[in-house]
Amino acid sequence: MTEQAPPETGAAHVAGQVTFLVCVADDGHSEVAARFAALRAKNSGGQVALLHVMQPPEFQHWAAVGELMRQETREEAEALLNAIGAKVEEVTGEPPSVTVREGGIGDEILGHIGENEAINLLVVGAAPPDQGHGSLISWLAGQLAGQLNIPLVVVPGNLDEQQLQDLT
């Protein structure tokens, strides 16, 4: 799979068709969130869109080095999206749309949702409590949730396959 423009770009919501936008990072809980969204999409006739937000490289002293870092980060993001996208396609039978954006995570999530009216749910994976992560979830709950015009679904990253099947 390669990076694709999301098919829902500029499209309005179609009644009965739900698009789940999954924010993907290189962690296990993103995979659980993507599996949740894929199972829900399969069971509801919906679609899955994957979004990865790259943070701009902080090393800007030499432009060539900064550009090389950006390219390597993009290649890693595309590989990640391809791997998770293949798993989504196994479940749904359809490839998800995939998007890589660069910038502040909150701004890029809101921008992507604002540009894609067909997105109906934002799905994020939450790290299990023992991993000590959760800055994205805290930020989403505290800052972004008030600006969202779609539901935010937080999927615990420690759900097993049976729990996912039961929930979807």
Characterize 118-131 residue by residue with b for buried, 16 or more Cβ atoms within 10 angstroms of its Cβ, and e for exposed: bbbbbbbbbbbeee
Vertex 70: Cα angle to 29 and 109 (nearest 5): 45
Instruction: Tell me the two tokens of residue 116.
Output: 């894609």
- H-assigned helices in 27-94: 28-44, 63-92
Separation CA 147–CA 110 (nearest Å): 8
Looking at the predicted structure, is the pLDDT value of residue 14 above 70? Answer: no
Given CA atoms 159, 76, 116, 111 in this order, what sign does their dihedral have? positive
Looking at the predicted structure, is the pLDDT value of residue 42 above 80? Answer: yes
pLDDT tens for residues 59-113? Answer: 556 666 767 888 888 999 999 999 999 999 999 999 999 999 999 888 899 999 9
Looking at the predicted structure, is the pLDDT value of residue 38 above 90? Answer: yes
Separation CA 54–CA 45 (nearest Å): 30
Rounded to an integer, the average pLDDT of 39-60 is: 87
Separation CA 79–CA 67 (nearest Å): 18
pLDDT-based confidence at residue 3 (cuts at 50, 70, 90)? very low
Rounded to an integer, the average pLDDT of 28-55 is: 94
Looking at the predicted structure, is the pLDDT value of residue 135 above 70? Answer: no
Name the average pLDDT for the chain.
83
End-to-end CA distance of the chain: 26
> Dihedrals φ, ψ of 148, to 5°?
-75, 145
> Dihedrals φ, ψ of 23, to 5°?
-80, 120
Better-predicted residue by pLDDT, 134 or 145: 145
Specify the 3-state DSSP secondary structure of 148.
Answer: coil
Q: Which amino acid is at 73?
A: T
The sheet carrying 97-102 orders its strands as: 97-102, 47-54, 19-23, 119-126, 152-156
Lowest mean pLDDT among 28-37, 40-49, 95-104, 119-128: 119-128
pLDDT-based confidence at residue 146 (cuts at 50, 70, 90)? confident
pLDDT-based confidence at residue 2 (cuts at 50, 70, 90)? very low
Q: Tell me what pLDDT residue 7 has.
A: 44
